[in-house]
Chain A
Amino acid sequence: MTAVTAPSAVPVGTIRSRSTRQVSWSRRAPLLPALVFVVVVTQVPFVVTIWYSLNSWNLVRPGSRQFVGLANYVHVATDVQFRTALVNTVVLTAGTVIISMVIGVALAVLLDRKFLGRSVVRTLLITPFLVMPVAAALLWKTAMFDPTFGIVDYVLGPLVGHVVWLSRFPLASVMVEMIWQWTPFMMLLVLAGLQSMPTDVVEAAGVDGARPFAIFRELTLPHLRRYIELGVVLGAIYVVNEFDSIYMMTQGGPGVSSTNLPYYIYERAFLGFDVGQSAAMGVVVLAGTILVATIALRLIFTSFTGREEAA
């Protein structure tokens, strides 16, 4: 930005201070419709959720609604299934994000080389990410993990025998499907990072006799760090709220072995009709997310936008 403003006759500082004083309503007004809309549709419901969480309210028992204070929270704190769902959410999110990122980095490094048909391979690789999540989950549940005619069983059957993947390893199966969907995303982010890297440096290091692995560790990885962080944060935002693949593949089962928090809250609200308790869970999840998001936001903001303004 400085490069653009510097040649003008007026010193940059003057523009800044004048504008800060003169920021008028006409400047802010265009922001308002979007802001009001987002607040009304996405923020007010959260406030209402907090109110609901203080009530005992079951939709199938009309007139059951009454103020109960923090009773729902006490129930959530002692709910073993909620704790299982919480652990599952952490495992699913961390596992999916980390494994997708590791594979994504490897694939990006592979795609950063020149070879015949590179753009075709890139197109093939990003396709899983574009498949409608519901369809992807369906595809993995029926065509891949099916115990009798699934591809996974056909390939691994001779090695490990027949396995009913979705009931023996429900969480891992869901995770495999999600890694399949998320690896392309990580790869695209890292690839963007690799391609923004000045090639001269790498070439110079190569000429100076540095070994490829040393170049990767000393030059490439530090450069990629911001991109990897961004991928982890963004991936986590989306994956922590994952609902589709669990709904489609395992319905959270067997038992609650593959239930994550969004699915558990959904079950409580729409199958158990227990508004008060699911609202309390929602608030707990909300608080946790805000805590994590505040840290994550700073990370993205300083690492990308901050650089943009400093440059």
Chain B
Amino acid sequence: MAATDTLAAPPRAATRPTPAIRRRRRPGIGNVVWGVVAWLVGILFFFPVLWMVLSSFKTEAAAYTNVPQFVFSPTLAEYRHVFSSGVGSYFLNSAIATVVSVVAVLLLGTPAAFALSLRPIKKTSDALFFFLSTKMLPIVAAIIPLFVAAEAVHMLDNVWTLVILYTAMNLPIAVWMMRSFLLEVPSELLEAAEMDGARLWRSLREVILPVVSPGLAATALICAIFAWNEFFFAVNITAARAATVPVFLVGFISSQGLYWAQLAAAATIATLPVVLAGWVAQRQLVRGLSFGAIK
């Protein structure tokens, strides 16, 4: 019953004069209380991250205290230590794996999403089902053959192996996400391009791409986050040469022991790019993570 009411209500409510009702939604004392509650919860959730960042500016002695210290004289010593421990090559590997795989995802995924967004036919939904299903399968069941194959062609501990795997890992998300953006392109635009006799590639490049470039950017961002944070493949098929930032973090523990201030500095550096990107693009994040289901 509730569902039918919801469907029937909007047109009726739209004609109803609303000023009297609007006034009731002004912030009142209740909203102030809930606002305070929301702030407290927000700070509670954020606290571990804040603590990590604070600890990274402490000396080891100040980081290891029974009573948490909030006031201390900040030092950059731990950051200097992290940078001098050769984090650069790990960052370079992460950057290559991330950037190249994202470009490959866009090159392969855009045409595929375009083909899938043209007209809803039976085969379309089959193909979409297939793409999504590859994301659901437990990757751990595929790691052994991948490892054996990489070994056979001498591509273990090679950053290009990561590029291939990350491209495959992100393609399903990208195809779903880009299709949902392409569906928002008015179909007249496509029809018109087609009637002008424009070939598929031209209509893709000159008509569709300008309209969906914000969507492309969002897709790229999501794929970049996943690639940057990926750990399972990285730890299993790379060693000294091709290891990425998450592997560096883990290695940092075993080689240095548990020095929390140092680890906090390393973890802050490793995390910062994605946190900043995610803050900027909150809405796109939801869309990407829900495979474009949520606009």
Asked if B289 is an interface residue, CB under 8 A from chain A, the answer is: yes
Q: Is A143's CB under 8 angstroms from B52's CB?
A: yes
Asked if B213 is an interface residue, CB under 8 A from chain A, the answer is: no
Q: Is B145's CB under 8 angstroms from A45's CB?
A: yes
Assembly CA distance A136 to B168 (angstroms)? 25
CB-CB < 8 A to B55: which residues of A?
Answer: 143
CB-CB < 8 A to A227: which residues of B?
Answer: 294
Q: Is B9's CB under 8 angstroms from A124's CB?
A: no
* Nearest opposing residue in chain A for B275, CB measure: A130
Please count how many residues in chain B sit with their CB below 8 Å of the partner chain's CB atoms. Answer: 120
* Nearest opposing residue in chain B for A119, CB measure: B282
Q: Is B38's CB under 8 angstroms from A115's CB?
A: yes
Assembly CA distance A129 to B286 (angstroms)? 11
Chain A, range 19-40, C-beta contacts under 8 Å to B: 19-20, 23, 26-31, 33-35, 37-38
Q: Is A42's CB under 8 angstroms from B282's CB?
A: no
Nearest Cβ on chain A to B167's Cβ, whole angstroms: 7
Q: Is B294's CB under 8 angstroms from A198's CB?
A: no
Chain A, range 257-284, C-beta contacts under 8 Å to B: 261-262, 265-266, 269-270, 275, 278-279, 282-283
Interface string of B144-177 (1 = CB under 8 A from A): 1111110000000000000011011101100100
* Nearest opposing residue in chain B for A198, CB measure: B10
Asked if A160 is an interface residue, CB under 8 A from chain B, the answer is: no
Asked if B85 is an interface residue, CB under 8 A from chain A, the answer is: no
Q: Is B279's CB under 8 angstroms from A130's CB?
A: yes
Q: Is B64's CB under 8 angstroms from A144's CB?
A: no
Most chain A CB neighbours (cut-off 10 Å) among B27, B108, B186: B108
How many chain A residues sit at the interface, stated as a range, is: 35 or more
Chain B, range 23-42, C-beta contacts under 8 Å to A: 24-25, 27, 31-32, 34-35, 37-39, 41-42
Interface string of A176-205 (1 = CB under 8 A from B): 000010011100110011001010110110
Residue among B21, B31, B43, B66 making CB contact with A115, cutoff 8 Å: B31
Nearest Cβ on chain A to B41's Cβ, whole angstroms: 6
Asked if B216 is an interface residue, CB under 8 A from chain A, the answer is: no
Most chain B CB neighbours (cut-off 10 Å) among A46, A107, A143, A275: A143
CB-CB < 8 A to A118: which residues of B?
Answer: 35, 38
Known: A42-B168, A124-B46, A125-B41. A132 touches B246 (CB 8 A): yes
| Besides A1-B183, A122-B42, A203-B25, 12 other A-B contacts (C-beta < 8 A) | A29-B115, A33-B111, A49-B142, A132-B249, A132-B270, A135-B271, A151-B48, A203-B24, A237-B135, A241-B140, A286-B141, A297-B133
Q: Chain B interface (Cβ within 8 Å of chain A)?
A: 2-3, 5-6, 9-10, 13-14, 16, 18, 21, 24-25, 27, 31-32, 34-35, 37-39, 41-43, 45-49, 51-52, 55, 64-68, 108-109, 111-112, 114-116, 118-121, 123, 125, 127-149, 164-165, 167-169, 171-172, 175, 183, 186-188, 200, 204, 225, 228-229, 231-232, 235-236, 245-246, 249-250, 253, 258, 260, 263-264, 267, 270-271, 274-275, 277-279, 282, 285-286, 289-291, 293-295
24 contacts between A and B (CB under 8 A): A20-B121, A27-B115, A30-B200, A31-B127, A38-B134, A41-B167, A42-B169, A45-B142, A45-B146, A115-B27, A115-B34, A120-B42, A124-B46, A126-B285, A130-B275, A132-B229, A142-B263, A154-B67, A200-B16, A230-B293, A234-B290, A248-B250, A266-B232, A297-B133
Q: Chain A interface (Cβ within 8 Å of chain B)?
A: 1, 4-5, 8, 16, 19-20, 23, 26-31, 33-35, 37-38, 41-46, 48-49, 52, 107, 110-111, 113-118, 120-136, 138-140, 142-144, 148-149, 151, 154, 180, 183-185, 188-189, 192-193, 196, 198, 200-201, 203-204, 206-207, 218-219, 222-223, 227, 230, 234, 237, 240-241, 243-244, 247-248, 261-262, 265-266, 269-270, 275, 278-279, 282-283, 285-286, 289-290, 293, 296-297, 300-301, 304-305, 308-309
